[in-house]
Chains A and B, each alone.
Chain A
Amino acid sequence: MFDSISLYSLEVYWWLLVSILGALFVFMTFVQGGQTLLNTLAKTEDEKDLIINVLGRKWELSFSALVMFGGALFAAFPLFYAVSFGGAYYVWMAILFCFIIQAVAYEYRKKPDNVYGQIFYEKLLFINGSLGIFLIGVALGTLYTGGYFIVDEMHLSHWTKQSYGLEALLVPFNVAFGLMLFFISRITASLYFYNHLCHRKIEKRVLQTLKHNTLAFLPLFLYVAITMLLQDGYTYDPITKVVTIESMKILHNFTVYPILFTILIIGVGLVLYGIYLALQKQNKKAFWVAGIGFVVTVTLLLFILGINHTVFYPSLANMQSSLTIENSSGSHYTLVVMSIVSLLIPIVLGYIFFVWRSMDKTQMTIEEIKSDPHHY
């Protein structure tokens, strides 16, 4: 079935899948966003428990989404995995650190004899939600701004800066991208709480945080979007593979594929409409509307980097070392195998949807938490 498809088409297919997985991960970061809102939204211990538990039902999914994103990148674009992870070493290691501490924090936070105390674990959750997401945003930002790497003739890579990725923090676009992701996670978290919790006081506070975080998000998004569209990009010749700079490359890509631009606008529209639904109509379904909007928007913003002979990871040390979906992908055979495996994705999404619905039939209350001895 996939055998007859050309290598380039498979590369585009896998870039699309990676973009969708990345977008689904960004959507799932409502868990992290929620962690950073703990002390803003919860004023009593019961309220804290409620917030933690409604997030706690989903943290493993967000964890799995991150692992899956990494695994898909490894299998489909191993050179990116090698170059970025092995080069921007400190950034990725810091991200990993921020995720290790999340995994235990939910389970250990309220357990007796947890050595470091409840507040310590809540701080870990905050670090995961803030620094972790910000750094992932910075790392994603470098897909547009580039990294200092060289790939030699044997396809082995070297990073040319001794700061091993931390230099990305000096680029305003990357920082804005990181902050934007942080505020996205807090917006989706607010909408998630609004949808999943039954607690008048928290609901009221949630609408406030939604408003504040949207106000912070919008200028960042505008800055990122405009810069992305108008800045110089990198393109490569499909025959010679020589990389050159092209002004307004991303904008050019959207003009070549107006359908993608239309979908992007629909995505952004859904985000704004979702936020409007919550703030103005007090509609609890807003989470799903904005959630779908974010998934569509992020998918498009990543996908556009992989098509129309665009460089998706520019090298600032040697332009010809830049990564494209063509020079960094797995072999035709492996991409065929992985494409067959990708047919499982609808099944996985199906059971996640089914379980989500079964478990979240009713909104969570403080009484429910108290009656469950296994709560976090």
Chain B
Amino acid sequence: MEHTDLLIDWSRAQFALTALYHWLFVPLTLGLTFIVAIMETIYVRTGDIWWKKTTKFWMGLLAINFAIGLATGIIMEFEFGTNWSNYAWIVGDIFGAPLAIEGLMAFFMESTFFAVMFFGWDKVSKKMHLTSTWLVAIGSNLSALWILIANGWMQHPVGMHFNPDTARNEMENFWEVFFNPNGVSKFLHTVSSGYVLASLFVIAISAWYLLKNRNILFAKRSIIVASSFGLITSLFLLTSGDESAFQVAQEQPMKLAAMEGLYIGEERAGIVAMGLLNTEKVLGDENDVFHFKFEIPNALSFLGYHSLDAFVPGIHDLVYGNKEHHIISVSQKMQKGKKAVEALKHYKTYKKEGNSKKAIEALKVFEANQAYMGYGYLNKPEDAVPNVALTFYSFHTMVGLGTWFLLLFILTLYFSMNNQIAQKKWLLYAGLFTLPMGYIAQEAGWIVAEAGRQPWAIQDLLPVGMAASNVASTSVMITFWLFAVLFTGLLIAEIKIMLKQIKIGPEGAHEHV
């Protein structure tokens, strides 16, 4: 099925819009649910009513964020049908399962115990309330687990085979899908990034109180909890990030090359710590890739292959092939892919006509070329290259900011432990202004993951052009703008409500305990 470029662009834009908006809210929920669970645990263990007040304040902010996260999340599930209906058939047999399991295992847990967490303070026992708070945290993280298993599968499809009779991929090993290394590292990296963001959120608000010289004890204690949580989870984020990069190198070398702006592959490849891409650069020309760059030698080889001397293929190698390193070119893959697509069509025709001999022959041709079937839908080899600048800058923004967050947590924890945090105005301002950077890092991470693997909806198997629904591009354009206006309107309300609640402060929550 041929789709117009316009339809594909609008379908992608709508999904990107939904995903980016959704991700403005989810990481905070992932982390803040745990932070309030920790605070409530302290309350239940010590019986100190002060911790109950503090828990309630953060819970109030969580509720504002939670609602809009749900609102944007529901669309994503249904968009796999509305905007990616070919995808829904071609891989739905595998992809649908984690989504359904997410609904059953996670959403009901979250929604059931959410009501207890917010409205059950005087209706259930202390212990049941605490259990409910933990179950909301576990539920929201379970939800992330299943959706990231699904996403990990898109990046590295495993545990399935292609059934030519149904013309789709079918699951053959659930555990391979579940324990897909890409999904596991993606889950760990993503949820830990949520914990880091929630820690930044608590620190920023607490820092603002300290700068305003109000709620001193509340702010100081909150900073200690958030800095400790943030420091531990940042280290975890770093480790899981390393594992993620390793996975990318193995399964998505084109993405890794784009992340580093590496056009010509090299041994002992370095990581660009900082660099400015040359916008004139086109694949295959002689222009320099960078105007300038600072590089850490051997680091990319080590990151990608855990060896300082390893060869890291560049975009040029991956597109045009590299005999020395046994990399076949995209055009060769396209030839095989087109053979597979044609053979599948013939197989279906012969089957329909009842010509089983010819059908078997066609099937053999299909099976011999099936591994590259996805490439059969590409128009030219260069289509296999993602947007290098977008991937490169997003990746470096994410890594740079992640490093700064780690440093921030060390500093806030150190000065909190020495009880000097309230005097360190520069650090408080840094804590305050780091919060938006936390959101930028979150979004940048997803841009690397998703834009970096273009043109694939399913890596090497199904390009986005083949995955989209057969609807008119104007229809998608209309819904895109409707969503854009609605989400933006809701975001404005969310931010204003959140800021107001922060201004009111924990006293508001404390009055009614």
Contacts and interface: CB of A to CB of B under 8 A. Distances in A.
A29 interface: no
B14 to A, nearest CB: 10
A167 to B, nearest CB: 14
A100 interface: yes
Interface in B100-151: 100-105, 107-116, 118-124, 128, 132
Contacts of A79: 89, 92
A220 to B, nearest CB: 27
23 contacts: A70-B77, A72-B103, A75-B99, A78-B93, A82-B469, A83-B85, A86-B83, A89-B475, A96-B74, A99-B74, A100-B486, A100-B490, A107-B66, A153-B167, A157-B89, A159-B471, A164-B471, A330-B93, A331-B166, A348-B104, A351-B112, A355-B132, A373-B508
A332 to B, nearest CB: 9
Interface of A: 57-58, 60-61, 63-64, 66-68, 70-72, 74-76, 78-79, 81-87, 89-90, 92-93, 96-97, 99-104, 106-108, 111-116, 152-159, 162, 164, 330-331, 333-334, 337-338, 341-342, 344-345, 348, 351-352, 355, 358-359, 361, 371-375
B89 A82 contact: yes
Which of A156, A345, A361 has the largest number of chain B CB atoms within 10 A? A156
B500 interface: yes
Given A63-B111, A74-B81, A81-B81, A100 B89 contact: no
Interface stretch (B168-176, B226-234, B362-370, B402-410): B168-176
Given A61-B111, A331-B170, A359-B124, A113 B497 contact: yes
Contacts, number: 279
Given A67-B103, A71-B100, A358 B116 contact: yes
A116 B494 CA distance: 11
Contact of A81 (B1, B96, B119): B96
B92 A82 contact: yes
A162 B72 CA distance: 27
B127 to A, nearest CB: 12
Contact of B170 (A71, A76, A333): A333
A333 B171 contact: yes
B88 interface: yes
Interface stretch (B56-64, B207-215, B285-293, B439-447): B56-64
Given A341-B104, A373-B509, 12 more contacts: A57-B119, A60-B114, A64-B103, A67-B77, A81-B96, A85-B88, A89-B469, A93-B482, A108-B67, A111-B501, A164-B471, A355-B132
Contacts of A96: 74-75, 78, 82
Contact of B167 (A76, A101, A155): A155
Contacts of B508: 373
Contacts of A334: 93-94, 96-97, 170-171
5 closest Cβ pairs, A-B complex: A86-B85, A85-B81, A78-B92, A60-B111, A103-B71
Chain A interface, DSSP helix/strand/loop, else mixed = helix
Contacts of A345: 104
A93 B82 contact: yes
A81 B92 contact: yes
Given A72-B100, A334-B97, A107 B63 contact: yes
B172 A74 contact: no
Given A344-B104, A348-B108, A84 B81 contact: yes
Nearest to A106: B67
A112 B486 CA distance: 20
B492 interface: yes
B328 interface: no
B274 interface: no
A72 B77 CA distance: 11
A92 B78 contact: yes
Contacts of B282: none
B499 interface: yes
A114 B63 contact: no
B80 interface: yes
A89 B85 CA distance: 10
Nearest to B159: A333
A329 to B, nearest CB: 9
A334 B171 CA distance: 6
A211 to B, nearest CB: 30
A199 to B, nearest CB: 18
B119 A100 contact: no
Contacts of A331: 93, 163, 166, 170-171
